[in-house]
Amino acid sequence: MGHSSHALAGSPILECKKAVSKSRQEPIMADSQLAELQNMRVLLEEARGLSRNLAYHRRARLETELGFVLEEVERQIEDVRGLERD
């Protein structure tokens, strides 16, 4: 099941993906950026919980997208933590 950017145009998930992608391009992230990523993760997990009230087909699609974004946020957090250790 593929998804198109057109279907998500203007959606919070697409905007979140753009923000994560943009921040990934920066070589060094500050502690405040790490805190922002952690806050984003919490909000995405809350959104996943709220999605359980949606109709099945909408919930499945949203949970898939949230999963992709959460994975990227987790990678970002690990990258920042790795930079802090160096």
Give the residue, 21 or 2, on which the prediction is more confident: 21
Shortest CA distance to 84 belongs to which of 43, 31, 47, 33? 31
In the predicted structure, residue 2 carries a pLDDT above the cut 90: no
pLDDT of res. 9: 54
Q: How far apart are the C-alpha atoms of 69 and 40, rounded to whole Å?
A: 10
Domain hosting 86: range is: 29-86
Q: Is residue 4 part of a domain?
A: no
Segment 3-32, tens digit of pLDDT: 444 455 567 676 777 776 665 555 455 678
Q: Is residue 10 part of a domain?
A: no
Q: How far apart are the C-alpha atoms of 7 and 18, rounded to whole Å?
A: 15
Q: pTM value?
A: 0.59
Q: Token digits for 56?
A: 């099945």
> What's the number of domains the chain is made of?
1
Segment 30-84, tens digit of pLDDT: 678 888 889 999 998 888 888 888 888 888 888 888 999 999 999 988 888 887 6
